[in-house]
Each structure stands twice: as structure tokens, then as C-alpha cells.
Amino acid sequence: MVPLLVLVAIVVLLGLLIVGAYNRLVALRQNVGAAFADIDVQLKQRQDLVPNLVETVKGYAAHERGTLDEVTQARAAAASAGDLAAKAQAESALTGALGKLIAVAEAYPDLKANQNFLQLQGELSDLENKIAAARRFFNNAVGEYNASIQRFPAVLIAGMAGFAPRDFFDVGADRAALNSAPQVKFS
């Protein structure tokens, strides 16, 4: 009788361990999804701000058409990006194009003093900080999730239950371009 009770206790304990591990993985997967949604919201706000910024600069720097077109195209690509890798690449290109736009604006004293431009530039700077924070939060959630699906006992059920590793939101090879000042040349 005692061996049967010990066996039942072990089975119940293993069952509770598996259910607990599964529930933790579900919660971590939800955190990753919520963190990505937060990034998406911030990126959408930045994409909505770009046309206003371009129009403001356009009034002062009409002959900078190439830079303005580059920003517009980068915004369109970012808005239509689908998966995480495409979104990261498109947002990296948009960040670089916006850097060039701000650098062009520096060459126009009247534009730099324009209240609307200053407000838009401030909003853009604030959004960039929020996006960076959201990316850090997302990458932290992905790291915790990925580590959890590889730990015992979750590793025993993760594959069978459909828990696959997630990719980090990384700018990858474009990191050097984002950290360097844009080159502005006037012909």
C-alpha cells in the first residue's frame, strides 16, 4: 500500500511540475507578444510623425528632394514590413533616413528656429527614446522566454507544446550606420 501511495504522490508531483512549467511558458510567451505590441505602437507613432516632419522641412529645403524622398520611402517600407526581421530592417533604414533629414535641417537656420519643426523634432526624439526602451523590454522578455524553454523541466514539454525560440529585435549589421553621423553633401 505504501509503495502505491509513493507512486501516486510522484505522479501527482510530476503532473503539477509539468502544468506549472507549461503555465510559466504560456505567461512568458504572452509577455513577448505584449512587448512586441508595445514596440509596434511606438513605431506606428513614429511613422505617423514622419509625414509632418517631411512637410515642415520641405517648405524650407525644397531642393533636398533626395533626402525627403528617402525618408518617405523608408517610412512606407517600415509601415508595410511584416515579420520581426523585416520590421527591424525597415525601421533601421527609417532611423538612418531620419538622421539624414535632421542633419539637412541643421543647415537651415530658419527651419531650426521654426516652432513647428522644433516641436516635431522633440516628439521624434521622445519617440526614439521610447522605442529604444520598448526594444530593450522586448529583448529582455525574449531572452527570458528563450532561456525558460531550454531549462529543465520545461525543455521536456516546450517542443511538444509548440514553444519555439523567438528572435530578438536587433538592428544587426546596420548598427554601425545608426551610431555614425550621417554625411550631408551640398552640390
Written as tens digits, the pLDDT of the chain (187 aa) is 888 888 999 999 988 988 898 999 999 999 999 998 888 888 888 888 888 777 777 776 665 667 777 887 888 888 878 777 788 888 888 888 888 777 777 777 777 667 777 788 888 888 888 888 888 999 999 999 999 898 888 888 888 888 989 988 876 554 444 444 444 343 3
* Residue 5 domain-assigned (yes or no): no
* Residue 4 domain-assigned (yes or no): no
CA distance 155 to 163: 9
Q: Classify burial at 1, counting beta carbons within 10 Å of its beta carbon; exposed 0-12, middle 13-18, buried 19 or more.
A: exposed
* Residue 100 domain-assigned (yes or no): yes
Domain count, the chain: 1
* Residue 168 domain-assigned (yes or no): yes
CATH assignment of the domain containing 151: 1.20.1440.20
The parent domain of residue 111 ranges over 11-179
* Residue 150 domain-assigned (yes or no): yes
* Residue 82 domain-assigned (yes or no): yes
End-to-end CA distance of the chain: 93
